[in-house]
Amino acid sequence: MNEDNIFEQASRMKLRFVTSRGEISAEDLWDLPLTSSPGALSLDDLARGLHTRMKNELEVSFVKKPRPESRILALSFNIAKHVIDTLLAEADANEERVVNASRRSRVKEIIAQKQDQELLDLPLEELQKMAEA
């Protein structure tokens, strides 16, 4: 299945995901948490449920065409997996940005400390001249 158009396919067929909270659309998946406490809906729970259904319900044949239900189930799983992969990548990128910002801040602090130390090492007369200038 071509991953580039899975959302187009879902919107054309008005695909809905059956959950413990009722039916939700593909765009609703973006609002679900990746994981949650037991009893609450999460992307992980949804994808695991779809994966289990695929393993249990899909007939493996290399000759027969898949049933329409099989294609819908596979599409649902691929969409849920795509949303999960995208959100995980965004979380990783955000974490990296936070780490880099923290590192830059720390480097600036060290630069300021070294500049302060250079000033502390100057003779008193030179510091007085600098203050008067």
Q: Is-above-0.85 flag for pTM?
A: no
The model's pLDDT over 77-105, given as tens digits with 9 standing for 90+, comes to 999 999 999 999 999 999 999 999 999 99
In a domain, 123, yes or no: no
Q: How many domains does the chain have?
A: 1
In a domain, 120, yes or no: no
Average pLDDT along the chain: 91
CB-count exposure of residue 58 (10 Å: 0-12, 13-18, 19+) = middle
In a domain, 129, yes or no: no
Residue 84 contacts residue 47 (beta carbons within 8 Å):
yes
* Domain boundaries, position 95: 3-99
* Predicted pLDDT at 78: 96
* Predicted pLDDT at 20: 85
In a domain, 16, yes or no: yes
pLDDT-flagged residues of the chain (< 50): 1
